[in-house]
A = this chain, B = another copy of it.
Amino acid sequence: MDKKKDLASKLRTSGLRPTKQRVLLAEFLFNRDKTFHFTVENLNKAINKKNSDYKIALATIYNTVHAFKKAGHLKEIFIKEGKNYFDTNTSSHHHFYDEVNNELTDIENNKIELKKFPTPPKGKSIKDVNVIINIDNDNQKH
């Protein structure tokens, strides 16, 4: 399989030994058309669902997700207490967050442009800008 090989070398290139577990997780996460948002809890459930052919320990999932993040293959997103989302889209971009369904949607960087801009404090420079647009069902009273 070509795809598996590609993943193996992708891992190797970033200093990660392509173990069975890592390749399986990489396949699951990166062989997709759309970007994928998930929590470790999600991922663990999806991978270790009943009747799945291969199980991966929770600790390994944590290790792997962090290794992938460190290697730049995942981005971490903070939106909700106790929920740490990861994103397979590692480019600089923004998000819609649907509080009703707990769902994240990507907004590509070029869809948002800032007109006005604050000056960062002295001695500091801007590293990254993150916009989260919280959305609600229509006709909602607040």
Binding site for B on A (CB under 8 A): 76, 78-81, 84, 96, 98-99, 105, 107, 110-118, 120-121, 123-138, 140, 142
Q: How far is the CB of A70 from chain B (nearest CB, A)?
A: 13
Count of this chain's copies in the oligomeric assembly: 2
Q: Which residues of B contact A132 (CB under 8 A)?
A: 129-132
Task: Determine if A134 and B138 form an interchain contact, defined as CB atoms under 8 angstroms apart.
Answer: no
Supposing A112-B114, A112-B116 touch, asked if A99 and B80 sit within 8 A by C-beta, the answer is no
Classify the interface of chain A: helix, strand, loop or mixed.
strand
Task: Determine if A135 and B130 form an interchain contact, defined as CB atoms under 8 angstroms apart.
Answer: no
Expressed in whole angstroms, the Cα–Cα distance for A113 and B117 within the complex equals: 7
Residue in B81, B107, B124, B138 whose beta carbon sits within 8 Å of that of A135 in the complex: B124
